[in-house]
Amino acid sequence: DGGITQSPKYLFRKEGQNVTLSCEQNLNHDAMYWYRQDPGQGLRLIYYSQIVNDFQKGDIAEGYSVSREKKESFPLTVTSAQKNPTAFYLCASSIDGGRGDEQYFGPGTRLTVT
């Protein structure tokens, strides 16, 4: 079964701790994306990667970091510098970023920081 997996579905952390969200795809897509969703605000782009070993900041990259060492994987670290990290995080992939290709989404990870 091809698709995108995100784990875990729910994540709880104490303030001041870094946390890494997992995103894996077996669709053989070149491009991967991380979005953040807050109630009533739609999706905002955090980081994206069009190819292995390369990634670019999105609109709200401050307080986040990513890596893209493998085509299949694009983990997102929420650092202690992120002022309001509690949100729903969505990972997506597309065949070839930059062409306006449709994106396929994972099920999301809900992060709660207290």
Partner 1 sequence: GEDVEQSLFLSVREGDSSVINCTYTDSSSTYLYWYKQEPGAGLQLLTYIFSNMDMKQDQRLTVLLNKKDKHLSLRIADTQTGDSAIYFCAPAGPGRRALTFGSGTRLQVQP
Using CB under 8 A, list all residues that contact partner 1.
4, 6, 33, 35, 40-43, 45, 48, 50, 56, 58, 90, 92, 97-108, 110
Instruction: Name which of 2 and 40 has its Cβ closer to partner 1.
Output: 40
Instruction: Name which of 16 and 39 has its Cβ closer to partner 1.
Output: 39
Helix, strand, coil shares of the chain as percentages rounded to 5?
0, 50, 50
CB of 35 to partner 1, least distance (A): 8
Phi and psi for 76 in degrees, rounded to 5? -115, 125
Instruction: Name which of 53 and 56 has its Cβ closer to partner 1.
Output: 56
Instruction: Name which of 80 and 88 has its Cβ closer to partner 1.
Output: 88
CB of 16 to partner 1, least distance (A): 27
CB of 64 to partner 1, least distance (A): 15
CB of 55 to partner 1, least distance (A): 11
